[in-house]
Amino acid sequence: MLQLAQRLAAFFAPMAVFSAFFPIGPAPLPAPKPVVASDLPPAAPGLAHSMLAATPALPAALLPGRQAALSAQQGMIHALDNMPQQLAQLPDRPFWIDGAGPQLRGTLVAQTERLDLYVGVSTFSEQEIASMSGHIEQILRDDEAWFGTRLGHRISLGFFRPSAAEIKGVRGLAYTDAARAEVYFAQGESLDRALVVAAHEIAHHLEEERYGTAVQKRADTILHEGLATWITGRRWLELCGASTWKQRGRQLRDAGIPLRLLTAEDYGANNAYEMWTSFVQYLLLQYGWEKFDQLYSSSSGRAPGSADYEGVLGKPLDQLADDWRAWLDS
């Protein structure tokens, strides 16, 4: 049995080709403050449907079904101290999925319960990725427990050199309509950071699982990238030296980054992702998962601001942004 790993990385991609990509990894900032329970959103509800279409391990065995979800949730609470007391209840479904994901270039080095892992040239060694296969499967489970949605099909995850990226300078791509994701790091770079990118790309596949391909492909980038980064959670926060996304929003503001959601990418891809994630956390706290899911599904395209904020939440985006900025100081 796999051991539980400790519970808890821009711009948007053309919809016809892939759904999302990951910018250069975030730079660390000052040491984090303690997590405040009121800063954390409510638990994500588990969904029973399936879309057909670095971190040391904790000493707890992963068990099947709801018992596994509960065990994972207890580990997350232990790791984060002030997590909500009720975490997502995942539907009963066996972890192992038969078959194989799509074939990628490079070498297939490991097959976990739901992930096929490939390695190209001039990146991490085949042995490095193969030895981390159980940990990478656990990253998927951590994302699932945090989001309350379980992946219902196999996906292929490839590790390749940066020059192999379809878009220059990106660190990860999620091809959600093709059941694959790719991470781009050179030999000798940080494997820990690469795994944060992998967690983010896996999160996009969970978005597709939860909302469906059509909705996920047209999702407002603020919600699409903000949610995937939120699902990645503490792994990303640790890289930027924050304990919560509320704190990270304050850090960005105090560093002189204008907190403007529609033009966030003008101030750097990482800043945009983190700004959007702080806003997503505010929405989850203020309005809850049912409204957030409705908002995400109301999106009319990848353009930031395309979701029907006023129709779903009763306020236009600019007013919600004002509320979010005020919340950062509350």
Instruction: Return d(Cα 230, Cα 94) in angstroms, integer.
Output: 26
The CA-to-CA distance between both ends of the chain, in Å, stands at 44
Helix (H, G, I), strand (E, B) or coil at 89: coil
Instruction: Return d(Cα 4, Cα 129) in angstroms, integer.
Output: 18
pLDDT in tens, 281-330: 999 999 999 999 999 999 999 999 999 999 999 999 999 999 999 999 99
Instruction: Return d(Cα 320, Cα 8) in angstroms, integer.
Output: 29
pLDDT at 46: 34
pLDDT in tens, 113-130: 999 999 999 999 999 999
Instruction: Return d(Cα 258, Cα 285) in angstroms, integer.
Output: 23
Number of domains in the chain: 1
Higher pLDDT, 112 or 14: 112
Instruction: Return d(Cα 305, Cα 22) in angstroms, integer.
Output: 20
pLDDT bin (cut points 50, 70, 90) of residue 53 is: very low
Max CA separation in the chain (angstroms): 53
In the predicted model, what is the mean pLDDT of the chain? 79
Residue 310 Cα to chain centre, angstroms: 26
Domain extent for 56: 3-327
The whole-model pTM stands at 0.76
pLDDT at 94: 55
